[in-house]
Structure 1
Amino acid sequence: MSTPALVPLPASLEVVDAAGLPLTAATAVSGPDSDLLRTLVATRTGIAPAGTSATTPTVTLAVEPGGAPESYRITVDATTATVTGADAAGLFYGIHTLVQLIRPAGDGWEIPAVVIEDAPRFAYRGVMLDVARHFHPVATVTAYIDRAASLKFNHLHLHLTDDQGWRLQLRSRPELTEKASATSVGGDSGGFYTQDDYRKIVAYAAARHMTVVPEIDLPGHTHAVSLAYPDLSEQPVISDHIRETVREFGGGMPENGTAYDGMAVGFSSLKIHDEATYAFLADVLGELAELSPGPYLHIGGDEALGTDAADYDAFVGRVTGMVAGLGKTPVAWHEAGTAPALASGTVGQYWGYITPTDGMDEKARGFVRGGGRLIMSPADAIYLDMKFDAGSPLGLTWARGVTSAQRAYAWDPAAVIEGVTDADILGVEAPMWTETVRTLDDIDALAFPRIGAAAEAAWSPAVGADPERTWESFRARVGALAPLWARSGIRFTALPGIDWARED
């Protein structure tokens, strides 16, 4: 018997040598989230199970508290499939696993006989969407939420601001969207979310057991602020690297107070010693905290090359303290880990390589020493915006060149930074930066199938802990999801080296 095509791999999967459950329009579905299961089954098969007779095959959904958070159990035999979640999230994930199990059987469909006991390895399983380099409307964000939630991701990190644009309307500082939201990379049009738009995204995510993590990137990546508040911004610091980036990608040199649509990074900075900067941030962060019910608020901190190192440390310490004072847990990119006054418990996001370079690992360890934990986002593995093929017009290659699906899979979160174990890791996040990404189709093409590798790193047992937690198994399992993805409208890229299934 073949292993069912499940991604991420469950903690425990037993394939039973017995008949499975026939799935027809007469199959009865009962319990919480029945409508969700019916909708997903209809998408996968074209069948809308609506049976009511006790003598027909049945699918029973239930929540029974007592297990680990987000855990679930599935049992399937010839007459009944039962999905039991320890909580509502566990049931939701169990339903998506059940849908992945569905397979053709003769002229119809069936769910194979299995027993699954499943729970996540890490509590935080995230995807990030950069809506600053290119703005993405609410419909695109919610579509990405659905895609990610189906793979058991439970956090959406929204990169709301950058040099190219400010994307969230604030009552306290309306000039930010009035003057700094109109452009994107390459001269494309911009945009922003009204507060109602943002609330819709937050609510949509919550209904799928996903928490929104908003990011205001500071003190660098802040050129857009200069369009609204030039007095708060330092003059751009132009380095040879920035000149090289402009030569390669265009966009021109940044000038304070002028919209920037290039791809260079590291030139911008807020004024660290001006109290007006902190009054501005008190308004911005305070309002963002009010709008965001989740526990985390991300303050960026990456690539602040236009800020003096001592000033950077002082700034990061003060701003993480401001976030903590708002009742939120601060999150920052790993550069902030060596700041002496970093607020206790600040979460670090590691974006270095699988094999750390340039002291990236020591900076990341600073968060652990400060009572926080790490989110692992190694750029050369699960930055989903890296090219999957050298000839693709989508994506970039700065993170050690092309990132194959195999490289995206062949790493383990607890094997990256020496001395950092599962206990020190909050979770895993797969970012999608959007310098070259304009549409949902672009997101799909870059993310799928590699997002499945990130999902498995976040949810499944460690590499080597299960006979199926291997590249050979994954390439077969993820390839078998092709019909489900296609029927769900996901325009994935059929990368070589994966055994892609077809249903003619």
Structure 2
Amino acid sequence: MPTPAVVPLPASIARRGAPFPVTAETAIAGDADAAAHLRTLLAARTGAAPGSATGSGSTGTIALTIAPGGAPESYRLTADATAVTVTGADAAGLFYGIQTLGQLLTKTTGTTGTPAGWEIPAVEIDDAPRFAYRGVMLDVARHFHGVDTVKAFIDRAASLKFNALHLHLTDDQGWRLELRSRPELTAKASSTSVGGDPGGFFTQDDYREIIAYAAARHLIVVPEIDLPGHTHAISLAYPELSEEPVISDQVREIIRRYGGELPVHGRPFESMAVGFSSLKIHDEATSAFLADVLGELAELTPGPYLHLGGDECLGTSPEDFAAFMQRVTTLVAGLGKTPITWHEAGAATDLAPTTVGQYWGFVSPVGGMDEKARAFVRGGAQLILSPADAIYLDMKFDADSPLGLTWARGVTTAQRAYEWDPARVIEGVGDAGILGVEAPLWTETVRDLGDIDALVFPRVAAAAEAGWSPAPGSAGRTWESFRARVGALGPLWTSLGIGFTPLPEIDWATD
């Protein structure tokens, strides 16, 4: 009997017997917040309102409870012909159990082959995540995406048991967060995007709204201020803080290939080139700027992490880069936050000892990227794995796609996105050295939610499984199992308004 269509794959799942019928008379009892989430999910999936009863239903009860004592974010789900019980070790675990329940909901057929109703297969599931941090990243700097789009992205991430939203808030093309200590950043550096498209920014109320919406779905928000490179937008607001652009052959080639103008200090930049910008590392005014920006960001952000970038700093000398990253990670640690940097910062010495490294190299590392990543673990910290040739969601899924890029070893198929193991990327770094997995979406070619859905789904499900599920080789943790389970989720995703790309390597179910 095939594994039920649950993604990410649970730690343990077994069939039991006759299914549980879901009707308007089915009662939902227990935790009020969880019950509200389940009713919303059931209504979206069925187009009706099963589970609207509140007492003992004539067709059984779905009981939702929290029972502390298990592993964080874990849950247990049991279903038979008479009842369904979802028990979370905490509120997050119960929420994830509800997402599993929504995936299990299946349309039945009558004797004539016509749809007859809905049911939940009889199963017994014990589930807990492999890694504590399971993130998605949305770049709102290359193209700005407003609050409603970010909320929709959060809903999509939460449905696959991700628990962190990394917002890439600043880059050469724009600054996207209002800071009262530095108002010129949004006044002068937020209006443009790649290709000359409109820009935008989040007010502080917008940012708080996003944080609250994410928290209600058990995600933290991890804001990124990319430093000391990717900072050309700062030159529009505070030109005295920025160095002149370093125009390399790489910059010229990217602009030749994708269009746009060479960067000019103090003028908006709308192309895709990277690695040319830098702050003035040794200027006292830069130190004051960092104290203002990161101090205010720490006050606005209740989550434990602040991301400081540190990637592609080709306009900064190695010595200046090392000194800068030591200074800025120490500053953030002093604010009571855990710094995160891209793996390049592993080349620096004396980073704040809690600094987490985020690896964006390939599944098979090249150019010494793995050694830089290993440095974080040698220092007693951990890594987030984001291999670009597996789970960078902005890579093309098809050579003919108008969306996406191909620099990470060409087209990234769903199978390639799936067939890797976080503990086998950096030699010597196993599960204990890994904080988690994150799937980034850079938005050079992404203008709206439709573009997001087309690039992200179904491949984001592979990243979800890498972060949550047991390691490859465990029962059911195979490409063939995954493609069957993901394909069966097509009707659910459609009912939730997710415009996924039906990649031909997956057999997609229909109602």
TM-score of the aligned structures, taking structure 2 as reference length: 0.97
Contact 1:444/1:492 (8 A) holds in 2: yes
CA distance in 1, matches of 2:120, 2:56: 19
Secondary structure of the residue that 2:260 maps to in structure 1?
A: coil
In the alignment, structure 1 residue 343 sits paired with structure 2 residue 352? yes
Residue in 2 that maps onto 1:50: 52
Secondary structure of the residue that 1:241 maps to in structure 2?
A: helix
Residue in 1 that maps onto 2:107: 104
Q: 1:401 aligns with which of 405, 410, 433?
A: 410
Cα distance, 1:56 vs structure 2: 3.1
CA distance in 2, matches of 1:54, 1:110: 15
**Structure 1 ranges of 4+ moved more than 6 A:** none
CA distance in 2, matches of 1:352, 1:19: 47
Aligned AA for 1:304? Answer: C
Contact 1:346/1:371 (8 A) holds in 2: no
Secondary structure of the residue that 2:436 maps to in structure 1?
A: strand
Contact 1:316/1:336 (8 A) holds in 2: yes
- 1:162-190 CA distance string (max 9 Å, x none): 00000000000000000000000000010
Residue in 1 that maps onto 2:9: 9
CA distance in 2, matches of 1:146, 1:297: 22
CA distance in 2, matches of 1:150, 1:35: 15
CA distance in 2, matches of 1:313, 1:115: 52
Residue in 1 that maps onto 2:498: 490
Q: 2:223 aligns with which of 214, 226, 243?
A: 214
In the alignment, structure 1 residue 252 sits paired with structure 2 residue 261? yes
In the alignment, structure 1 residue 39 sits paired with structure 2 residue 19? no
Residue in 1 that maps onto 2:26: 27
Cα distance, 1:499 vs structure 2: 1.1
Cα distance, 1:54 vs structure 2: 4.8
Cα distance, 1:35 vs structure 2: 1.4
In the alignment, structure 1 residue 243 sits paired with structure 2 residue 288? no
Cα distance, 1:3 vs structure 2: 1.5
Residue in 2 that maps onto 1:286: 295
Cα distance, 1:231 vs structure 2: 0.6
Residue in 2 that maps onto 1:61: 64
Contact 1:24/1:47 (8 A) holds in 2: no
Aligned AA for 1:39? Answer: T
- 1:233-290 CA distance string (max 9 Å, x none): 0000000011001110111100000000000000000001101101000000000000
TM-score of the aligned structures, taking structure 1 as reference length: 0.99
Count of paired positions: 501
CA distance in 1, matches of 2:474, 2:80: 28
Secondary structure of the residue that 2:165 maps to in structure 1?
A: strand
Residue in 2 that maps onto 1:136: 145
In the alignment, structure 1 residue 386 sits paired with structure 2 residue 389? no
**Fraction of identical pairs, as percent:** 73
Secondary structure of the residue that 2:214 maps to in structure 1?
A: helix
- 1:320-347 CA distance string (max 9 Å, x none): 0000000000000000012112110100
After superposition, where does 1:35-434 map in structure 2 within 5 Å? 35-48=36-49, 49-51=51-53, 52-106=55-109, 107-434=116-443
- 1:7-34 CA distance string (max 9 Å, x none): 0000000111x21100111101111121
Contact 1:476/1:498 (8 A) holds in 2: yes
What are structure 2's unaligned runs of at least 5 residues?
110-115
Residue in 1 that maps onto 2:450: 441
Aligned AA for 1:303? Answer: E
What are structure 1's unaligned runs of at least 5 residues?
none
Secondary structure of the residue that 2:64 maps to in structure 1?
A: strand
In the alignment, structure 1 residue 471 sits paired with structure 2 residue 469? no
Secondary structure of the residue that 1:284 maps to in structure 2?
A: helix
CA distance in 2, matches of 1:301, 1:349: 10
Cα distance, 1:53 vs structure 2: 3.6
In the alignment, structure 1 residue 450 sits paired with structure 2 residue 464? no
Cα distance, 1:194 vs structure 2: 0.2
CA distance in 2, matches of 1:406, 1:305: 33
Of 418-427 and 36-45, the range deviating more from structure 2: 36-45
